[in-house]
A and B are shown apart, each in its own frame.
Chain A
Amino acid sequence: MSPMPLLEITSLRTEFSTRQGLLPAVDDVSLRVQPGEILGLVGESGSGKSVTGFSILGLIDAPGKITQGSILFEGTELVGASDETLRQLRGDRLAMIFQDPMMTLNPVLRVDTQMIETIQAHRSMSSEQARARCREVLVQVGIASPDERLKQYPHQFSGGMRQRVAIAIALLLRPALIIADEPTTALDVTVQGQILFEMQRLTRETGTALIWITHDLAVVAGLAQRVAVMYAGRIVESGSVQQVLNTPLHPYTRGLLDSVPANSERGQRLHQIPGMTPSLVNRPKGCAFRNRCSYAQADCAIDPPVQHFEQEHMVRCVRPLTEVKR
């Protein structure tokens, strides 16, 4: 029997009511994260990957609402939990890193004020002790001269440095799970490399689990142990990185992998997925990918069943690509 997962999401549905109708941004999503595991949550814009992350932290505001499902974190049910319960968890056991570090940082407060505030909101600790902890994490995320940096304002940091500070704040109270929403997308390649390096080291050292939300399959390939691919609000495939990237079972995953320029012969036409992501408002029944799928047949108009293959390789497709080998 596998150990109790750190996070277990079961049939989560998060809807937004819009003027055009109900928009199920996340629909029937089930996920498990084990302690210390790195899960890559991959999808294109509008696939619901960020909303899944926000749902876990209880950051869905009206007109959005979690209408179905459960999110169990360390045995606590987060769906419908009181604001006070969530407030105590956020920043302590659960932390989030956003794409734009300025979403985390207050531009008019010095970095030390913000970091000490985070600690003192959850622990009774003297300011000196808290400051010592702040210095420690800043060093951990690779910021040289932490004493001077602590006295500075966010605008005095470069983009990569700001993201490090945001990561440092997430790490302050040694959370069990960090949700990172495209934290390196806006950064340069060399800086992204540095941050991926730090995150990898930190999860190994501290045993923190990580959900890495990204559109970049290549980042996930290097960082994560397991990957879940989202399309139009649903997880269409999940499994270990090897399974999903070596033998993709869903035509969408396959299409995504083939669209990456590095995967095709130089100068040849790239494989392209025709069409674009459908609107989620009043989505018709059945597989959302069927209009773009070259394997689609009439039976794709029913909701595709979730099929399990060896070792938790899951696919949601009527006709998975079992026989096709890459």
Chain B
Amino acid sequence: MSANAPLLDLRKVSKRFTTSPDLIERMAAKFGFAAAAQTVHAVDQVSFSIAAGEVIGLVGESGCGKSTLGRVIAGLHKATEGEVLFKGQPLRYSPGVRPAIQMIFQDPFASLNPRKRVGDAIVEAPIAHGLIAASQAKEQAAQLLEQVGLDASYVRRFPHQFSGGQRARIGIARALAVQPTLLVCDEAVAALDVSIQAQVLNLFMDLRERLSLTYLFISHDLGVVRHIADRVVVMYLGRVVEIGQTTELHEHPNHPYTQALLAEVPRLDRRNIDYTPIKGEIPSPLSPPTGCHFHPRCPHAKPVCAEQAPLLRELSNGHWSACHLNS
């Protein structure tokens, strides 16, 4: 592998979910009333790469496919099409091999077994992968807890004995247990109060420096992403609409959707503003609009937008946007 190859390379990754026909539909099919299977294009031909040590913010509203993409990268879903290359090799998960990508979920309480002591939950993965012996487990768990800023004596506690912020830290400790290279953080701070969110974001930045981690930071909160990410990827209805350096993208958003998204973010320095929202809501991914997915809501839509899907084009160094207005 060459030195400047990206850590993670997504090549036209698509993920589709198809409904399987239920009993009534199968019976109807027998009588010749076949209902078409419904397909959700959750992720549609997404390509971008992540360099080692980089923090990528993946931004979009609910239903845009950002979580599905995160799950495809973490190996929880198989891509329907396209390739996910890690250090130039296709991702393969097999027992005994240290998983290089780990995921942190929004609700750590839902991902922790309520009947398992957190110490056991944290070292479950490394033991299963044969990375540490069971005899080292206790020591390892205590060490991981200290790494995320919790007291080592907490190993014997149960998940319900922790506050939201502490649970978020446990979720991080559990992901770190297998010494991953890339962390996929899916709305990892969304459920936390502002003051606790600041603590956890600081922890993320400390860990990145200490363990030279790479993050894919999935969030709907542009403020958080602006703070932590080096580059931002904006998704809308399964497609990437814009990629750029964080400051460049925030200061000169190109795609009308990114512009709208940034304009709607409530900010402390804007007082008694007159809201001028964009119209409509995200359409259903079951029947996405033709052409550019954003055209029904776009204030600048032209006839071509309804016919052809725009391709990502490089505007300036590293700033890509998929919009017909640029051509």
Contacts and interface: CB of A to CB of B under 8 A. Distances in A.
Interface stretch (B12-20, B75-83, B84-92, B266-274): B266-274
Interface stretch (B21-29, B111-119, B257-265, B299-307): B257-265
A295 interface: no
Contact of B277 (A194, A218, A222, A261): A194
- Which of A191, A255, A269 has the largest count of B CB atoms less than 10 A from its CB? A191
Contacts of B153: none
Interface string B260-294: 11011111111111111110011000000000000
A271 B198 contact: yes
A216 B227 contact: no
B165 interface: yes
Nearest to B163: A276
Interface in A276-310: 276-277
Given A200-B274, A276-B165, A261 B201 contact: yes
B224 interface: yes
Nearest to B264: A193
A126 interface: no
A166 interface: no
Interface in A100-140: none
B277 A241 contact: no
Interface in B187-206: 193-199, 201-202, 205
B246 interface: yes
A289 to B, nearest CB: 11
B270 A188 contact: no
A272 B204 CA distance: 13
Nearest to A196: B275
Contact of A190 (B164, B165, B201, B264): B264
B98 interface: no
A259 B195 contact: yes
Contacts of B246: 266
A263 interface: yes
Nearest to A189: B264
A17 interface: no
Contacts of B282: 188
Contact of B266 (A221, A256, A263): A221
A222 B222 contact: no
Interface in A247-284: 255-257, 259-264, 266-267, 269-273, 276-277
Nearest to A214: B266
A105 B222 CA distance: 31
Contact of B198 (A161, A188, A273): A273
Contacts of B231: none
Contacts of B220: 188-189
A101 to B, nearest CB: 14
B271 A217 contact: no
Contact of A45 (B193, B199, B202): B193
Contacts of B195: 44, 255-256, 259, 272-273
B266 A219 contact: yes
Nearest to B261: A189
A242 interface: yes
A2 interface: no
B120 interface: no
Contact of B271 (A192, A242, A272): A242
Question: What 9 A-B pairs have minimum CB-CB distances, sorted nearest first?
Answer: A197-B275, A193-B264, A261-B227, A218-B266, A259-B198, A188-B61, A44-B193, A193-B277, A270-B198
Given A221-B270, A276-B165, 16 more contacts: A44-B193, A45-B164, A45-B193, A159-B62, A188-B61, A189-B261, A193-B277, A196-B275, A200-B274, A221-B271, A222-B267, A222-B270, A267-B227, A270-B227, A273-B199, A276-B196
16 contacts: A188-B62, A189-B264, A190-B61, A193-B278, A216-B266, A218-B266, A221-B266, A223-B272, A241-B271, A245-B271, A259-B195, A259-B197, A260-B268, A266-B246, A273-B199, A276-B196
